[in-house]
Structures are given as structure tokens and as C-alpha cells.
DNA sequence: TGTATTTAGGTATTTGAATGCGCAAATATA
DNA sequence: TATATTTGCGCATTCAAATACCTAAATACA
């Protein structure tokens, strides 16, 4: 069914990976993470690339290579990751058709703005370090 | 950009139409409403079909035909319309891949559940009659 | 009865996200 | 140096939801 609160798989993958790399002693490669998360290796590789490009992770190629942290998990908020993968959350006009709407105030009131703000506040305050304790011992 | 709070155009159209039909003295046809809303006539027709099938509207074909209310605007909550068009809002598992996740509690905490509940509460309490006053005089 | 109007409903197209694929570049190690 | 491993990156494919189109059925009215 429809997802009211839409968080793409890419965002989830990014967050999961950052936490996994944080707790790993040696560098972690894409295939291993994909296996652990039960996700597509290809999709995950794309996400990791982004995280490297924006300096959350370092990568090393070649045998024994993989990804390591470049920022401390306490320095990374979930919001940064969200915005990196999805862009700033916007409220679109109900029906993207401009200003044809015959209603003076939006029929939705300001509920979307309110919920978006709540979401952002939560994600800004929550850090990768906060979710690390939830990792199951493997 | 990504819409965090996702409300399809179909939902917006349904709500707008119900309000417009409510204040109309005679029956309103799809083309007229599409023009007023600056929306696709075809898409709107689909939405109206649904509203007729579920007894919110009555329809009459032929010249001078169109749509009229079958329920009072004070009897219709926005939530009913949302659920009709989108289904019950569900929280999906982060990464629809089942139970492979190596985290014991979801990394998102319960923020999605919380926001969804807020949304539902708001939409349950708000009725078509509440938004009618916002219609601009045409 | 004929014609114009309007809804009904099935099907096709579009779109965007997710996924897959192939090859180049880097690097460890034998 | 040769080989296996692993990331980087562009492009192709798939898939589902949203949106558009097309024709049939109903009805008012001349
Ligand atoms: S578009 Fe938001 S109220 Fe009409
Ligand atoms: S899937 Fe929600 S925490 Fe891993």
C-alpha cells in the first residue's frame, strides 16, 4: 500500500552501512555488507559511492580493500544522510499545477509542514552513534 | 525532490472535488472541475469514478449530467477519502527485504509510527465541511 | 430517431526508483 | 610482473505506481 512517510531504500542502506562500518575493526567491503543486509550489491555500491564522495567514508581498492569511517559516528546525524540521499524535504503544492487552486488556504492545513518539521527535528538529533548499540552481535 | 510526506494527486483531487460539488447548486461535470482545478480531465475522471463507486457522489450521464453529493459534507472525513484512494497507511520494514536486518530495534526508532498516527488523527477529525469556507468565490 | 454530451471502464504510456551489468582503475600479494 | 580483488562510474534494464488515452454505454433533447 501507499507509504505515507516515504524513506527510500537508499537512505536506509546508507544509515545501516555507516553503523556497520563504524563498529567494524577492519575495512568492510560492499559484498559483505550486501550479504549482511540482504540487499542488492549493486544498489548498495551506488550508495557507498555517494558516501565516499561526500567524505563520510574512505574507500580502498584491491584485495582486502573496502570502506572505513572518515567521520566519527557521533558527528553524523541521520538528517545529513537523509538530505544527501533525498535532498531537502519539500512541501509541494497539493497538485503540482501551480496556482489554479480555488481554495484560499490549503485543504491540508499545515499538517504536512508540521510533520516534516517533526521528522527533521528527530533526524537532526539522532546520530549514527545512537543506533550502534542496536547492532546484533554476529 | 523527494516528498517526505507523500500524498498523491488522486487524494488531493478527490478532496477538492467533494468540496466543489458540495457548494454547487447544480450538478458539476468532470470537464468543468478539471478546468477549475487546472488538472488533467482524465485523471480526475478516474478519481470521480471511485467516489461514485463508494457512494460519496452520484453521477448522471448525458447532457447537463455530472456529479452531485450523496453524503453530507459534514459526514465525510478527509481520512475516509485518503484510505479510499491510497489504502491504509502502513509502515514498511526499512528495506523490504524481510528480517535480514542486523539491528535489533529499527534505526528509525518509532518516528514513522508517530508521524503516521498524527497524520491519521488530523485527517480523521477534519471534514469536507471544514474546508468549504476556504473556497474562493468564483 | 438522431445527435451531442457525459460518465464508465479497460488498456496503454510515462515516470522515477531500483537494480543489473560491464569495464576501467587501483592495489595487495605472490 | 602477473593475477586476483575491489571500488568507480556510466549505461541499460526492470518494475510498479501514476497518469493518459480510447472506446463503449447511457441519457437529454431537438
Ligand atoms: S492545492 Fe492545496 S488546497 Fe488546493
Ligand atoms: S530495517 Fe529498520 S533497522 Fe534495519
Domain-embedded: residue A25:
yes
pLDDT score of B105? 85
Tell whether the model's pLDDT for residue A131 goes beyond 70: yes
Domain-embedded: residue B44:
yes
Q: Which nucleotides of D are covered by protein (CB under 7 A)?
A: 4-9, 17-22, 25-29
The whole-angstrom separation of Cα B45 and Cα B34 is 9
Q: From the centroid of its chain, how far is CA A61?
A: 24
The whole-angstrom separation of Cα A87 and Cα B132 is 34
Domain-embedded: residue B110:
yes
Q: Residue A35: which domain range?
A: 9-134
Whether pTM exceeds 0.75: yes
Cα–Cα nearest to B111, from A100, A34, A4: A4
pLDDT per position as a tens digit, A110-128: 999 999 999 999 999 999 9
CATH number at residue A59: 1.10.10.10
Cα–Cα nearest to B94, from A58, A66, A8, A26: A8
The whole-angstrom separation of Cα A101 and Cα A109 is 14
Q: Which residues pair with A77 in a beta bridge?
A: A127
Tell whether the model's pLDDT for residue A9 goes beyond 90: no
Domain-embedded: residue B125:
yes
pLDDT per position as a tens digit, A78-100: 999 999 999 888 877 777 545 57
pLDDT per position as a tens digit, B54-79: 999 999 999 999 999 999 999 999 99
Q: How many domains does chain A have?
A: 1
Alpha-carbon distances of B126 from B5, B7, B15, rounded to whole Å: 18, 16, 11
- Chain B residue nearest residue A112, CA to CA: B5
pLDDT score of B101? 86
- Is the torsion defined by CA of B44, B46, B49, B50 positive or negative? negative
- Whether A65 sits with its Cβ under 7 A from any strand D atom: the answer reads yes
Domain-embedded: residue B1:
no
Residue pair B94/A7 in contact (Cβ under 8 Å)? The answer is yes
Nearest atom in ligand 2 to the alpha carbon of residue A134 is: 3
pLDDT score of B98? 55
pLDDT per position as a tens digit, B30-54: 999 999 998 889 999 999 999 999 9
The whole-angstrom separation of Cα B5 and Cα B116 is 9
**In chain A, which residue ranges form alpha helices assigned H by DSSP?**
9-23, 30-37, 41-53, 78-86, 111-125, 128-131
Domain-embedded: residue B3:
no
Positions of E strands within B82-122: none
pLDDT score of A84? 93
- Is the torsion defined by CA of B16, B17, B19, B20 positive or negative? positive
Highest mean pLDDT among A37-51, A101-115, B35-49, B117-131: B117-131
Residue pair B124/B83 in contact (Cβ under 8 Å)? The answer is no
Tell whether the model's pLDDT for residue A1 goes beyond 90: no
B101 CA → ligand 2 middle, Å? 6
- Chain A residue nearest residue B79, CA to CA: A108
Tell whether the model's pLDDT for residue A62 goes beyond 80: yes
Tell whether the model's pLDDT for residue A17 goes beyond 60: yes
A residues 58-97 near B, CB within 8 Å?
Answer: 78, 86-92, 94-97
The whole-angstrom separation of Cα B108 and Cα B72 is 40
pLDDT score of A137? 85
Contact B8/A2, CB-based, under 8 Å? yes
Confirm or reject contact between A138 and chain B (CB < 8 A).
yes
Q: Which residues pair with A103 in a beta bridge?
A: B135
Query: Which residue's entry shows cell 558527528?
Result: A75
Domain-embedded: residue A19:
yes
Amino acid at each position: 500500500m501507499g507509504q505515507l512517510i516515504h524513506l527510500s531504500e537508499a537512505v536506509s542502506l546508507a544509515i545501516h552501512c555507516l553503523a556497520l562500518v563504524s563498529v567494524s575493526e577492519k575495512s568492510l567491503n560492499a559484498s559483505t555488507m550486501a550479504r549482511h543486509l540482504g540487499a542488492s550489491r549493486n544498489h548498495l555500491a551506488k550508495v557507498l559511492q555517494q558516501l565516499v564522495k561526500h567524505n563520510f567514508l574512505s574507500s580502498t581498492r584491491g584485495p582486502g580493500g573496502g570502506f572505513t569511517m572518515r567521520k566519527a559516528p557521533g558527528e553524523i546525524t541521520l538528517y545529513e544522510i537523509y538530505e544527501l540521499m533525498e535532498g531537502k524535504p519539500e512541501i509541494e503544492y497539493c497538485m503540482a499545477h501551480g496556482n489554479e487552486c480555488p481554495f484560499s488556504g490549503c485543504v491540508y492545513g499545515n499538517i504536512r509542514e508540521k510533520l516534516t518539521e517533526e521528522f527533521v527535528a528527530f533526524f537532526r538529533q539522532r546520530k549514527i552513534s545512537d543506533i550502534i548499540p542496536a547492532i546484533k552481535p554476529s
